[in-house]
Every structure is written in C-alpha cells, then in structure tokens.
Amino acid sequence: MTANSEDKLLIGRLADLAGVKSDTIRFYERSGLLPKPERKASGYRVYDAAALKLVRFIRKAQTLGFSLDEIRRILSLRGGGKKTCDRVLAIAEATLEETERRLAELQMFRDDLKRSVASWKKPKRQACAAEFCALIESASPAQNGRRPSMLG
C-alpha cells in the first residue's frame, strides 16, 4: 500500500508503510534526517508522502551499506549545482570502489562457506558449529559489517 500526496499519516502508519518501527521515525527526526513533522492539536505527529519517500530512501541507503552520517551528507547535497555535482561524483567513485571491495570479500566468504558446507555434509562429520563460528570470525571486516566511511 502507498500514500499519495494528499494523505496525512500518523507515525504508526508511516512506520508501517516504510517497513520500520515508530521509534525509528522518531530517531530519524532527532538525528536530523527527517524534518520535524506538523502536529495535530492533540500533539500527534502528521506526515506526508514526502516523509514516506524520505524514510524509504534512508532505509534503502542503509541496506546498501551507507551510515546515517553518510546519508545525511548525501541528502544535504541535493540541488546544489556544479560544485555539488563534483562532490557527488567523488562520493560515487568512493562508493563504487568500496562496493567492489566488499563484493570481492563476500565472494571469498561465499567460496569458503561453500567448501565448508560440502565438507560438513560428509558422513560422521562433527564440530560443524565450532568450524562455522571460526569461519565467521575469520571473515574480513567488511563481511562483519565494519568498514571505513565512503565519504571521508
């Protein structure tokens, strides 16, 4: 289900449509990622379709590996002209480089995991859990969710 430009959404509905929790919406507001919404006389927050689009963008960017600081910086560059385009190009190049590195590391992990799964399927195999833990622990930092900032 979607919201059109005339819809006014309370926080729970916005959260449902965006696939997040209401606390996430409040956090985005406190963090400056989402503008403060209008409020009803009762004090309830009221959002529009633009807020829904923005929350979905933030979630998608997070899924792609961007930190909230990086997302904030990207959002601040919207509509900034030629100088901004040069900065966006630099960010895009760094993002491409980082994405290629992460893909290579994930492919290595996939290959290691594939070999391990084949080994674990052999008869009378034991200690799979310990070996699986060791495989995860030996993964590179990007595979463990830690990576340097793409935006410097």
pLDDT tens track, the chain, 152 positions = 454 445 799 999 999 999 999 999 999 999 999 999 999 989 899 999 999 999 999 999 998 888 898 898 888 887 666 677 788 888 888 889 988 998 999 999 999 899 888 888 887 766 677 888 888 888 876 544 444 454 55
pTM over 0.85: no
The answer on 59 and 89 residing in a single domain is no
Domain that holds residue 125: 85-144
Residues 134 and 89 in one domain: yes
Residues with Cβ within 8 Å of 37's Cβ and at least 6 positions away in sequence, in order, are 29, 45, 46, 47, 51
pLDDT of residue 146: 45
Q: What gap in Å lies between CA 35 and CA 81, rounded to an integer?
A: 22
Total domains in the fold of the chain: 2
Residue 116 lies in a domain: yes
pLDDT, residue 130, reads 80
Q: What is the pLDDT of residue 124?
A: 72
pLDDT at 1: 45
Query: Do 140 and 94 have their domain in common?
Result: yes
Measured CA to CA, the distance from residue 135 to residue 117 in angstroms comes to 11
Assigned domain for 152 exists: no
| 76 is a domain residue | no
Position 151 scores a pLDDT of 52
Task: Decide if 80 is inside a domain.
Answer: no
Residue 101 lies in a domain: yes
Strand bridging mode 45-47 / 9-10: antiparallel
pLDDT of residue 7: 76
Q: Do residues 49 and 90 both lie within one domain?
A: no
99 and 135 in a single domain? The answer is yes
Which own/partner contact pairs does 108-112 have at CB distance under 8 Å and 24+ positions apart? 108/140, 109/139, 109/140, 109/143, 112/138
pLDDT attached to residue 46: 95
- The torsion of the CA quartet 122, 127, 130, 132, rounded to 10 degrees, works out to 10
- Residues facing residue 111 across a β-bridge: none
What is the gyration radius of the CA atoms in the chain, in angstroms? 21
Asked whether residue 14 is domain-assigned, the answer is: yes
Report if residue 68 sits inside a domain: no
- What's the pLDDT score for residue 84? 76
Residue 92 lies in a domain: yes
Residue 119 has a pLDDT of 84
Of 37, 1, 39, residue with least CA distance to 18? 1
**Residues 93 and 140 placed together within one structural domain of the fold:** yes
